[in-house]
Amino acid sequence: MAGISAKSARILVFSTEKISDPAIDMAGLLKLHYPPTVYTISVPCSSCIKPVWILHAFEKGFDGVFIAADGSDCTYGESCTDKTGRLVSMTHEKMKEKKLDPARLRMAAICSVCSEAFVKQIKSFNQYLLQITQS
Amino acid sequence: MNRKLGVYICHCGGNISDYVDVEKVKAAVEHEEGVFLARTTMFACSDATQKEMVEDIRSNQLDGIVVASCSPKLHLTTFRAVSERAGLNKYNYVHANIREQVSWAHSDNKPGATEKAIHLVRSAIAKVRLAQSLEPITIPSRKAVAIIGAGISGMRAAIELADMGCPVTLIEREHFVGGRVAQWDLLFTTDQTGKELVTRLYDDIAKRSNIRLLTGAEVTANSGNIGDFTLKVKITPRYILEKCDQGNLQKAIDACPVEVPDEFNFKITTRKAIYHNFPSEHPQYPVIDIKNCTRCGECEKICGSVDFTQEETTVEIKVGSVLMATGFDPYTPSEGEFGYLQFDNVVTLPQFKRIIDLCEGKLTFKGKDIHNIAYIYCVGSRQVEAGANAPVSQATENREEASRDISGENRYCSRYCCTSVIHSAIETKKRFKGITNYHFTRGIRTYGKQELLYSESLSMGDIYLQSYEDDPPSIIRENGKTTVKINDIMTGRKEISVNADLVVLVTGMVPRSDNSVGSLFKLPRGRDKFFNEIHMKLRPVETVIDGITICGACQGPKNITESVCSALSAATKSFSYVSKGELELEPIIARVDATLCTWCGKCMEACPFDAVKKVSEAGKEIAVINNSVCKGCGMCLPVCPVNAIDLVAYSDQEMETMINALAEDIK
């Protein structure tokens, strides 16, 4: 995988089928543009994401991983927010062990109507990743 | 492992191929491992392409397919059905979303969009190579539907569902049913009144024992999923006994000292704190507006049916599906917009409809006789970007000109207003003497049978003038007289002036200003801010929230006929979720690798559904998953310290191979 491009970082997004996926779809419908190097893999719930998947993405050359979390809207229960937070913390620790900047993994709750919030988050994350790789 | 794969890349007309080079995508993936055939297609969802796919699968004995097209929210079921028709297990089909998440999201960057599409298709191929044949699991679904909003759409949907044998709870926030239609008088094309229509529907509802009507009721909480929603509904009392003495009640209404603007008449009249909506409102007994009541006690002294001991209650409703029919708000012009609230003879279309309903013998407004009426079209609809028109506002001592700025966010046509205003203008002429109608339009949109009204209006002598958005009509008040001026494009932009006794702003529909119920259900809203369906043609009443359907004007501007059509459609769709008493769900459940598990109990703690149990097997304690209870959330996955748990279709191997495909450089 080539290094970061001049304009956009390569970001892997874990979205959720029922909550954040519709928001990302609607961002497209509304023609809210974000870098085309942002790739989405959909999962049932944000609290099912394994740290090994995230670490694998970094290993394969992704500049950042973004978890578009269910937040309090999770159809599987309110504990999703805490559990997703815990898996992110757990992964941050593993990233530190591997000398990876933990800020390259970011999480935000993206509800089914949060298209603008998603694009805003992704653009800001992209900017951050560009800064750290170019500094 | 699937090794003989078919890949279909859709143009979606030009929705995808205008921004993504689909031939380049095909060339980039056709030699991927396992790909037996790769095709581009104009519309993957078309009958012809579906037949072609079935034939491909059968004749080539494909054991997996990838379809790269629009969002799977739209066509996942379509292509699963294609797989099944071809004898291929539907879980051997994987979808790549290259429209919403590629061509539309990156329409500003065609090479970038094409590269992303290649990555996504390769990723889908990587996943389908590992896909397994699975069977769906079933869950119970409550045979009951809640309808939110008892306007024309909600009432009609309730009757339809009840007649299909489905128990319905019809929830209305106001104390009277009928919504906006109750406020209208004569309706095109039947010439029945809104009151008659609402009364007929109310009577039909009353005859059906399986419809429970809650008025003054508001949904305050929602939990659960498709098949099993639990709603909490707050019910505000009427403070009037159901079997009341109507004679004394009228005296109590007369005695009430409180007067507030009457929303039913769009604030052109006032009402008391204890009030009726209109003579045949439903349910047929009045209500005390407790927010404005001063508790002076005058009504209690006169009428024994007044009961202030009634208390707010909350009820819990369990249903399998929710149908939203929450309607619209009429557009309210801002102060000064075409003279609204600036000149005393400028009203909106809904207000005008109430004025002609309330007037008898001759048409008057604020004590003045009305003869010349100017209708200004498209106020609040078909708005333009700021600066696109040329608003002018000039004032001198005796002369004042209203703002004619038509900039705003409502770019859509409200569809019903041309017909509605022409119908009202005709009725005004028929009902009152000496009326002359002047229509200041931006083009007439009386589509279909409504064109007959336009013809009738022309034959009755109504005068139609037209302008474009860059030069809207102006309203001038000079020496107490109101003049509407237009540079009429039908006469080569000749300036034409009309002295108007009344100016009617033909206002359209806007989404409800109170979106609390939409927020509660997390219903997405479109660019027009109305609730958004999945697809306007293919899935027109479904939302991305499983089990929730939408209909009527909460979805976008509609006339009564269109609202009722969508209500019947939504009722049928909601019924399909609950009719069988069970629903098929994805067979995506957790599975434990017994060779790795050493039982620590963390998965059991993480599971919100008690689907994990400890068992002894081959001399050691391990976790097992109860397949009938597991919901497939995967919360047990990341907590396992030895990585012994996977989710079906989301194994480490499948996820990592997808990530690899996304990360791989394109040569």
Taking the C-alpha atoms of residue B645 and residue B603, their distance in angstroms, rounded to an integer, is: 9
ipTM value for the complex: 0.96
Q: What residue in A sits closest to B73 (Cα-Cα)?
A: A22
pLDDT at B526: 79
What is the average pLDDT score of chain B? 93
* pLDDT surpasses 90 at B585: no
What separation in angstroms does the CA of B542 have from each of B47, B142, B291, B321, B561? Answer: 22, 18, 36, 11, 19
Q: Measure CB to CB from residue B545 to each of A32, A40, A112 and give the nearest one.
A: A112
What separation in angstroms does the CA of B184 have from each of A64, B187, B192? Answer: 57, 7, 10
User: Which pLDDT band, with edges at 50, 70 and 90, does B394 fall under?
Assistant: low
**Domain B589-647: which CATH number of 3.20.20.70, 3.40.50.300, 3.30.390.50, 3.30.70.20:** 3.30.70.20
Residues of chain B with CATH 3.50.50.60: 145-236+312-327+512-582, 330-510
Residue with tokens 């919100």, as numbered in its chain? B608
CATH node for B330-510 = 3.50.50.60
Residue to mutate among B550, B633, B639, B654, with most A CBs inside 10 A, is B633
B99 and chain A: CB distance < 8 Å anywhere?
yes
User: Which pLDDT band, with edges at 50, 70 and 90, does A2 fall under?
Assistant: very low
User: Which pLDDT band, with edges at 50, 70 and 90, does B391 fall under?
Assistant: low
Lowest mean pLDDT of B126-130, B386-390, B548-552, name the range: B386-390
Q: Contacts of residue B102 in chain A, CB cutoff 8 Å?
A: 28, 36
* pLDDT surpasses 70 at B406: yes
B666 and chain A: CB distance < 8 Å anywhere?
no
Taking the C-alpha atoms of residue B596 and residue B599, their distance in angstroms, rounded to an integer, is: 9
Q: How many residues are given for chain A?
A: 135
Q: Measure CB to CB from residue A48 to each of B100, B108, B635 and give the nearest one.
A: B635
pLDDT at B443: 95
Q: Measure CB to CB from residue A40 to each of B101, B115, B655 and give the nearest one.
A: B101
Residue to mutate among B69, B637, B664, with most A CBs inside 10 A, is B637
Taking the C-alpha atoms of residue B144 and residue B159, their distance in angstroms, rounded to an integer, is: 13
CATH node for B145-236+312-327+512-582 = 3.50.50.60
Q: What residue in B sits closest to A35 (Cα-Cα)?
A: B106
Q: What residue in B sits closest to A8 (Cα-Cα)?
A: B112
- Tens-place pLDDT, residues A91-103: 999 999 999 999 9
Sorted by where each begins, the domain ranges of chain A are 11-134
Least Cα distance to B468 among B486, B495, B482, B451 occurs for B486
Q: Contacts of residue B517 in chain A, CB cutoff 8 Å?
A: none
CATH node for B5-133 = 3.40.50
B97 and chain A: CB distance < 8 Å anywhere?
yes
Measure CA B146 to chain center. 16
Least Cα distance to A49 among A6, A17, A9, A8 occurs for A17
Lowest mean pLDDT of A5-14, B442-451, B598-607, B636-645, name the range: A5-14
Q: Please tell me which of B166-170, B248-252, B630-634 the model is most confident about, judged by mean pLDDT.
A: B166-170
Strand B270-272 with B259-261, pairing:
antiparallel
Find the mean pLDDT for residues B456-463: 97
Q: Residues of chain B with pLDDT > 90: what percent? A: 80
CB contact under 8 A, B544 and A44: no
Residues of chain B with CATH 3.30.70.20: 589-647
Which position has the higher pLDDT, B108 or B241? B108
Q: Measure CB to CB from residue B634 to each of A26, A45, A57 and give the nearest one.
A: A45
* pLDDT surpasses 90 at B629: no
Find the mean pLDDT for residues B159-166: 98
B364/chain A closest Cα distance in angstroms: 46
Lowest mean pLDDT of B372-376, B576-580, B583-587, name the range: B583-587
Q: Contacts of residue B12 in chain A, CB cutoff 8 Å?
A: none
pLDDT at B280: 64
Q: Contacts of residue B655 in chain A, CB cutoff 8 Å?
A: 41, 50, 53, 56
Q: Contacts of residue A87 in chain B, CB cutoff 8 Å?
A: 638-639
Find the mean pLDDT for residues B503-527: 90
Lowest mean pLDDT of A45-54, B221-230, B256-265, name the range: B221-230
Q: What residue in A sits closest to B103 (Cα-Cα)?
A: A28
User: Which pLDDT band, with edges at 50, 70 and 90, does A6 fall under?
Assistant: low
Residue to mutate among A39, A80, A107, with most B CBs inside 10 A, is A39
DSSP state, B345? Answer: T
Q: Contacts of residue B635 in chain A, CB cutoff 8 Å?
A: 45, 47-48, 76, 79-80, 83
Find the mean pLDDT for residues B619-636: 89
B666/chain A closest Cα distance in angstroms: 9
Find the mean pLDDT for residues B196-221: 96
- At the fourth CATH level, the homologous superfamily of domain A11-134 is Lumazine/riboflavin synthase (3.40.50.960)
Q: Which residues partner with B170 through β-bridges? A: B147, B213
**A47 CB neighbour count, 10 Å cutoff:** 32
B100 and chain A: CB distance < 8 Å anywhere?
yes
* pLDDT surpasses 50 at B462: yes
Least Cα distance to B644 among B667, B621, B628, B610 occurs for B621
- Tens-place pLDDT, residues B12-54: 999 999 999 999 999 999 999 999 999 999 999 999 999 999 9
